[in-house]
Structure 1
Amino acid sequence: MARRFRGESDHKVDAKGRVSIPASFRRVIESCDPEWTEGLPPRLILVYGGATRDYIEGFTIEAMDEVDEKISRFPRGSAKRKALERLYSAQAVEITVDETGRIVLPAKLREKIGLEGMARFIASGDTFEIWKPEADEATIDALDEEGFDPDLDPSAYLDGDLD
């Protein structure tokens, strides 16, 4: 099983779209890029597509290989396969992490989620998300309203027995 992302943090985005990746995230990206070796820049995939996405999703190379494998199981030309290929292939970019631990977020991606000034990196298991901090805070409020019973310890949901 691939290493997993943990934690969240805010990072400054400069005028050229450069932003530092959290150091712990970089270790996961490196370990999950089969072509990475010391001295080479590790690669990742940023998925920005989908009208309902308010964030950019970061995939390691290994995680994206798993997604591509799942997509290839659908019949070629099927509507579901076309939709998934559109989201995970066409509306995605391969990015490299530079020697200082930064990536450049293309203007198209920053504009899609209204990102300027600060970016929030949030671990999501084998992927991570990049949010405009204000948009992330709104989704946290929505989760609190509809996701968990506020009087119940969230660990009770880990066994999957509660709806």
Structure 2
Amino acid sequence: MVQLLGEFDCKLDAKGRLMVPSSLKKQLPNVEVEGLVINRGFEKHLVIYPKKVWEGIVEELSKLNPYEQKNREFIRYFTRGATELTLDATGRVNLPKSLLEAVGIEINTELVLACQFDKIEVWSKKAYDALFDSEPADFSKLAEEVMGNKNRRSDGE
């Protein structure tokens, strides 16, 4: 399983290209061969998946019952705009203009690439910073609510 780590400050150039930071690229050793897929996130950001991770998601989606309207709508919205990305010779990827516009990311803007497990969220730096301006006052309480007893140690501690 892919385990991506880190936050990276980047800049989108005038042509909508993003230079993949070398330390992130090292975490994706076969990216030039396997490729990436970019898609909309659930908030105002984009998500980049290694191609194999995306294929796993598509496999899950294909198991949903297509006769249920809720499933069709979810699949339609989730996959809308999904695009394969390939790195050029200098390690850049060209982000689709339609996806950038959909989440309000402008050309020549600063971005944050935020790794989460097996995906990379792409945020405008301004939106990413604003996201953490509203950090919960009691983060430990949120952790308790979300994680509960899910990760209790089995050795009695």
TM-score, normalised on structure 2?
Answer: 0.79
Pairs aligned (count): 148
State which of 96, 121, 126 in structure 2 corresponds to 1:129. 121
Q: Indicate if the aligned counterparts of 1:47 and 1:87 stay in contact, CA closer than 8 A.
A: no
* Structure 2: gaps of 5 or more residues: 151-157
1:27 alignment partner in structure 2: 26
Which of 136, 146, 155 does residue 145 from structure 1 map onto?
136
Distance 1:44 1:76, change over 3 A: same
Matches within 5 A, 1:3-152: 3-31=2-30, 36=33, 42-48=34-40, 53-116=43-106, 117-142=109-134, 144-145=135-136, 148-149=139-140
Are the counterparts in 1 of residues 40 and 80 from structure 2 also a CA contact under 8 Å?
no
Equivalent residues of 1:29, 1:43 under 8 A apart: no
Query: Aligned-residue CA RMSD in angstroms?
Result: 2.8
Report SS of the residue matched to 1:149: helix
Range that drifts further, 69-78 or 95-104: 69-78
2:154 aligns to what? none
CA 1:159 to 1:54, structure 2 compared with 1: closer, same or farther past 3 Å?
closer
Determine if contact 2:81/2:99 at 8 Å carries over to the other structure: no
Q: What displacement does 1:46 show?
A: 0.6
The answer to whether the 8 Å contact 2:40/2:47 transfers is yes
Please, what TM-score do these two structures have when normalized by structure 1?
0.76
Specify the code of the residue in structure 2 equivalent to 1:4: Q
Distance in 1, matches of 2:37 and 2:77, equals 12
Residues 147 and 99 (structure 1 numbering): CA distance in 2 closer, same or farther, change over 3 Å?
farther
Say if 1:3 and 1:137 are closer, same or farther in 2 by CA, change over 3 A: same
For structure 1, the 5+ residue unaligned runs are 37-41
Deviation at 1:127, TM superposition (A): 0.5
Separation in 2, partners of 1:44, 1:55: 16
Compute the displacement of 1:110 (Å).
1.9
Change (3 A) 1:22 1:80: farther
Q: In structure 2, what residue type is equivalent to 1:111?
A: E
- Alignment partner of 1:161 is 2:153: no
* CA displacement, residues 31-75 of structure 1 (integer Å, 9 cap, x when unaligned): 4x6x92xxxxx41111126xx521001111111111111111211
**Matched position secondary structure for 2:140:** coil
